[in-house]
Amino acid sequence: MISYRNILCSAVAAAALLAGPALAEDKPAALGVGVFSFTSGGTAAYGKPGRDAAELMIERINAKGGIGGVPLSATYVDEGQGTEGVIAEYRKLAGDAATEVMIAALSSGNCMALAPVSDQMKVPTVGWNCDTHQLYLKDAHPYFFRPNGNTVPEFVAYAAYLIAVKPDVKRIAIINPDYAFGHDAAKIFTTAIKAFKPDVEVVAELFPKLGAGTYQTEISRLTAARPDVIFSNLWGGDLENFVRQASPRGLFRSSQAVLALGESSMQNVQIPEGVIVGVLGDGWWMSPDAAANPETREFAEAYKAKYGKWPVFPAMKMANSFLYVQAAYDKAMAGNGGKWPSRDEVAAAMKGSEVKTLTGTMQTRADNDGVVDQIIGVTAKADGHDGPVIGDMVRYKGADLMPPAGEDPIAWIGTLSADLPTKLPQPGSYK
């Protein structure tokens, strides 16, 4: 069907061309975008907001006349079908000239698999949510852009925040999902914590499989280990299940919890107050910077009206990725005298770009990785808002926590000085 729809799209475009030069210079009837996210499986709890935000952004961009006068038309691909199917869908979409740009993918595994394909098919591709620092470690990917930032600053930021609020921490336990994201985060977080405070001990390290459903035995194990701090980057349905099962068993009373992706689940499950949460970047729609931007408020209100919930950070990452694509087209067209840009010209425009987003700035480095700020805080309540919020916030500059391109990131974290957390902005300073 995807292929039929695209054939139809191309047919419409061809008809438009045949109809005469009056219609358009050489602009297509629609700008085809391939959008990849999880819409099935337990991971959909996190992936669905991404897709919802994509639909809303397309609606809003098209309502203002599209990009350079061309409306966006998206083809959605479910990452829940497995990497093999995702690659096949990508190849099929890329093989059709009507799809000019891709926003893919949510999962780091899929980004790793798609990056070489994007280079091969020469399609500019924006990794909208995936954040593994391994993406650009071995190979360069000239057509794959990941402006939303990587795991190193994301999890070093948690280590810094934790040391700032709990300088006497001794015993930490980790429960992360059993794939690259979980293992990388565990490594980055412990390396950073030990750089800041060498006598910290890791008393338990558990990696339940993605979608495990039940965590009862893990919760017993964590309780028995008596940690001061429990760090987790579980997400989506997994995080919700973990919180639901751990809360009644008192885990969050006996230890300080750090739920790195907590913001994305706050509206679905009751996370106790005082748990350290964040947004893996700057995508908190209520942050002071975001609140100062009327566009953001408008987007959030429209999102709430349409889907019944406030936009969680995956939704903001998706929305920001659309702005990133839009900025690339605007820049490319400005550079070539208003003509419709080719895929190559769009990729060239993305290179090194700096884009103002709904929540901050996306700075693209020379290696196509992105630098964004990191917002962290604790779960709290606020008057006048019908949902949980983040209090005691800090906003770290992305560049302060990002290893230089080409350097081994784990070794770089090891060289961080012990007093870095005291030199960075302090918790509560971002108001």
Partner 1 sequence: MFETIVPLLIDGLANAALIFLVAVGLTLVFSVLRVLNVAHGSFYSIGAYAAASLGLWVVGAGLPGWLTFASLPLSAALVAVIVGPLIERTLIRWAYGKSEAVQILVTFGLFLILEDLQRIVFGVDSFYEDTPVQLLGSIEIGGVVYLTYQLVLILLAAALLVGLKLFIGHTRIGKLIAAVVADREISQAMGINTNRVFMIAFSLGVFLAALGGALTVPQAGVSPGLGADTMVLAFAVAAIGGLGKIEGAAVAAVIVALARVLAIYFAPELDAVAPYLVMLLVLLVRPYGLFGSATTRKI
Partner 2 sequence: MPLLPLATGAIIALVAATFAFPWLEFVLTLAIAKGLAALGVAILLRGGLISIGHAMFFAIGAYATAFAMRDFGITDVFALILISAIISLVAGLLIGAFVVRYRAIFFAMLNLAISMVLFSLLSKFYGVTGGTDGLRVGTPTVLGMVLEAKGFATFLFYAAIAAMVLAGLAVNAYFKSPLGEALSAVHTNEIRLEYLGIPVRGVLLVAYGLSALLAGIGGTFAAMTIGHVLPDMAYWTDSGHLVLVAVLGGISGIGGPFVGAAFLELVHTLAAGVTDAWNMIVGAALLGVIFFLPKGLIGFIRPTKKGDLA
Applying CB under 8 A, which residues contact partner 2? Answer: 1-3, 5, 40, 78, 81-85, 87-89, 91-92, 95, 108-109, 112-113, 116-117, 119-121, 178-180, 183, 207, 209-210
Q: 55: how many CB neighbours lie within 10 A of its CB?
A: 15
208 binds, among partner 1, partner 2, none (CB under 5 to 8 A by kind): partner 1
206 binds partner 1 (CB under 8 A): yes
> Using CA atoms, how far apart are residues 33 and 137, in angstroms rounded to an integer?
27
The verdict on 45 binding partner 1 (CB under 8 A) reads yes
- Please state the closest distance from residue 236 (CB atom) to partner 2, in A: 15
| Bridging pattern class, strands 99-103 and 125-126 | parallel
CB contact at 8 A, 53 and 357: no
Cβ-based nearer residue to partner 1, 248 or 337:
248
Please choose, from the candidates 156, 148, 144, the residue with its C-alpha nearest in 3D space to the C-alpha of residue 367: 144
Which among partner 1, partner 2, none contacts residue 267 (Cβ within 5 to 8 A by kind)?
Answer: none
- Residue 206 binding: pick among partner 2, partner 1, none (C-beta 5-8 Å cut-off by kind): partner 1
Judge contact between 359 and 133, C-beta under 8 A: no
Cα end-to-end distance, the chain, whole Å: 49
Is 240 near partner 1 (CB under 8 A)? yes
Point out which span in 17-25, 107-115, 218-226, 317-325 binds partner 1 (CB under 8 A).
218-226
Q: Are 15 and 84 in contact (CB under 8 A)?
A: no
User: Which DSSP symbol is given to 101?
Assistant: E
Which does residue 87 bind out of partner 1, partner 2, none, counting CB within 5 to 8 angstroms by kind? partner 2
68 token code pair: 């350079």
Is 1 exposed, middle or buried, given 0-12, 13-18 or 19+ CB atoms closer than 10 A?
A: exposed
Handedness of CA 403, 408, 409, 415 (dihedral sign): negative
Could you say whether residue 176 binds partner 1 (CB under 8 A)? no
Q: Are 197 and 163 in contact (CB under 8 A)?
A: yes
Report the residue number, 167 or 211, with the smaller CB distance to partner 1: 211
Q: Which of 148, 190, 241, 296 binds partner 1 (CB under 8 A)?
A: 241
Stretch that binds partner 1, among 195-203, 211-219, 349-357, 407-415 (CB under 8 A): 211-219
Strands (E), 180-311: 201-206, 229-232, 256-259, 276-278
- Minimum Å gap between C-beta 361 and partner 1 is 34
Q: How far is the CB of 200 from partner 1 (least distance, A)?
A: 20
Residues 67, 69: Cα–Cα separation, whole Å: 5
Residue 147 or 177 having the CB closest to partner 2: 177
Is 244 near partner 1 (CB under 8 A)?
yes
**Interface mask (CB under 8 A) for partner 1, residues 21-40, using x and -?**
------------------xx
Cα gap 201→195, rounded to integer Å: 12
Under a CB-based contact definition with an 8 Å cutoff, are residues 218 and 208 in contact? yes
Considering only residues 79 to 98 of the shown chain, the ones binding partner 1 according to CB under 8 A are 80
Helix (H) / strand (E) element for 56: namely: helix 44-63
Contact of 394 with 165, CB cutoff 8 Å: no
Q: Return the one option of partner 1, partner 2, none that residue 217 interacts with (CB less than 5 to 8 A, by type).
A: partner 1
**With binding defined as CB under 8 A, does residue 249 bind partner 1?**
yes
Q: Which is nearer to partner 1, 178 or 298 (by Cβ)?
A: 178
Give me the residues that bind partner 1 (CB under 8 A), please.
39-42, 44-45, 80, 178, 205-209, 211, 213-214, 216-218, 220-221, 223-224, 237, 240-241, 244-245, 248-250
